[in-house]
């Protein structure tokens, strides 16, 4: 992760939570009071965000000592101690919630991603995220996907070309509900002349797929295809267009991910691994 980005996100989170000051701690805790605390997990999962949590405590009080016990990617069981923190009691209490929030969110993403990874074992398919992320937290959530063993799709609109259904319609490639292959060929040719980015194209049915694969895009995204049609797409690709990668997307769940992978696609993308995971439950307790 980019250290500068982490610090920026942490500072913004603290501004949101602390505001002009932690008034409860101000009235209840002596600034001279020192203590120790332990952070532990209350359910099994895959740890992610421990360095972010440390940064939260550092920004609140650089004198706090933060000892990491488990690193990102570690498989946790209920009750595992994750870190110790010691120093001014008021500082620990002020930083607590923001640090735990980052741990909960990111570990939730990494844990859910790991479940998908486990479902795909023994197949060649790789699980990928999408742009369905929390605004301003994309880099952290995509980092959590990698920690869980998944792979990142494009980070934003700036680093990869993905021609989707609405691009096709607005570009007049689809006219009167029929795909205009000649116009599509012109656009692909124009893109290849002007950039070195790989070209990915989304298709919604086998008819579009058959016409588009003839122009050798780098990747074809098969959106909401049935398992039967995914298998047909793979057979056609393997027979005549082996250099084209196939990505399945739409309606992907833990229950059907393995069946999708067994069709022979190369990638499976799911927005759910960043927008729908259950947060992992962590707690901080004073431990004197």
Residue 80 vs residues 38, 44, 145, 186: alpha-carbon distances, Å: 10, 9, 22, 58
Average pLDDT over every residue of 229-234: 98
DSSP 91-147: HHHHHHHHHHHHHHHHHHHHHHHHHHHHHTTTSS-EEE--S---TT-HHHHHHHHHH
Identify the weakest region by mean pLDDT among 30-34, 127-131, 162-166, 263-267.
162-166
pLDDT digits (tens, 9 = 90+) for 29-85: 999 999 999 999 999 999 999 999 999 999 999 999 999 999 999 999 999 999 999
CA 234, 235, 237: angle at the middle one, nearest 5? 60
Q: Yes or no: say if 14 and 98 are a contact pair by the CB < 8 Å rule.
A: yes
The residue among 7, 270, 288, 12 whose CA lies nearest residue 120 is 270
Catalytic residue among 72, 200, 202, 208: 202
Instruction: Name the architecture of domain 3-109+277-286.
Output: Alpha-Beta Complex (3.90)
Q: Yes or no: say if 242 and 216 are a contact pair by the CB < 8 Å rule.
A: no
Catalytic residue among 36, 70, 138, 164: 164
Q: What is the pLDDT of residue 62?
A: 98
Catalytic residue among 34, 58, 131, 132: 132
Catalytic residue among 34, 58, 70, 97: 97
Output phi, psi for 14, to 5 deg. Answer: -70, -35
202 is catalytic: yes
4 is catalytic: no
Domain boundaries 118-275, CATH class = alpha beta
pLDDT digits (tens, 9 = 90+) for 154-205: 999 999 999 998 888 888 787 777 788 888 898 999 999 999 999 999 999 9
Q: What is the DSSP letter of 151?
A: B
List, in order, residues 6 or more apart from 238 with CB less than 8 Å away.
Answer: 264
Quickly tell me which residue has 């930083």 as its tokens.
95
Catalytic residue among 142, 223, 237, 247: 223
CATH 3.20.20.70 residue spans of the chain: 118-275
Q: Yes or no: say if 161 and 198 are a contact pair by the CB < 8 Å rule.
A: yes
Containing 82, the helix (H) or strand (E) segment is strand 81-88
164 is catalytic: yes
Q: What is the DSSP letter of 255?
A: T
210 is catalytic: no
54 is catalytic: no
CATH 3.90.1170.20 residue spans of the chain: 3-109+277-286
């Amino acid at each position: 992760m980019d250290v500068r980005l982490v610090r920026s996100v942490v500072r913004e989170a603290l501004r949101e939570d602390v505001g002009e000051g932690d008034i409860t701690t101000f009235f209840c805790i002596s600034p001279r009071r020192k203590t120790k605390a332990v952070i532990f997990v209350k359910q099994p999962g895959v740890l992610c965000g421990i360095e972010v949590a440390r940064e939260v405590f550092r920004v609140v009080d650089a004198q706090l000592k933060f000892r990491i016990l488990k690193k990102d990617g570690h498989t946790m069981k209920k009750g595992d101690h994750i870190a110790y923190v010691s120093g001014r009691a008021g500082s620990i209490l002020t930083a607590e919630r923001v640090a735990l929030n980052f741990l909960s969110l990111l570990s939730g993403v990494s844990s859910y991603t790991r479940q998908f990874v486990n479902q795909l074992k023994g197949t060649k398919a790789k699980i990928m995220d999408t742009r369905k992320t929390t605004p301003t937290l994309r880099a952290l959530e995509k980092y959590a996907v990698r920690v869980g063993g998944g792979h990142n799709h494009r980070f934003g609109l700036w680093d990869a070309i993905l021609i989707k259904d609405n691009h096709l319609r607005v570009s007049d490639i689809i006219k009167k509900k029929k795909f205009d292959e000649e116009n599509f060929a012109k656009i692909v040719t124009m893109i290849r002349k002007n950039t070195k980015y790989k070209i990915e194209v989304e298709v919604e049915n086998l008819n579009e797929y058959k016409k588009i694969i003839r122009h050798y895009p780098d990747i074809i995204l098969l959106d909401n295809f049935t398992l039967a049609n995914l298998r047909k797409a793979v057979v056609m690709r393997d027979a005549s267009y082996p250099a084209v990668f196939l990505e399945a997307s739409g309606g992907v769940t833990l229950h059907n991910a393995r069946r999708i992978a067994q069709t022979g696609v190369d990638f499976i993308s799911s927005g759910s691994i960043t927008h729908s995971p259950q947060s992992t439950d962590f707690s901080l307790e004073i431990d004197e």
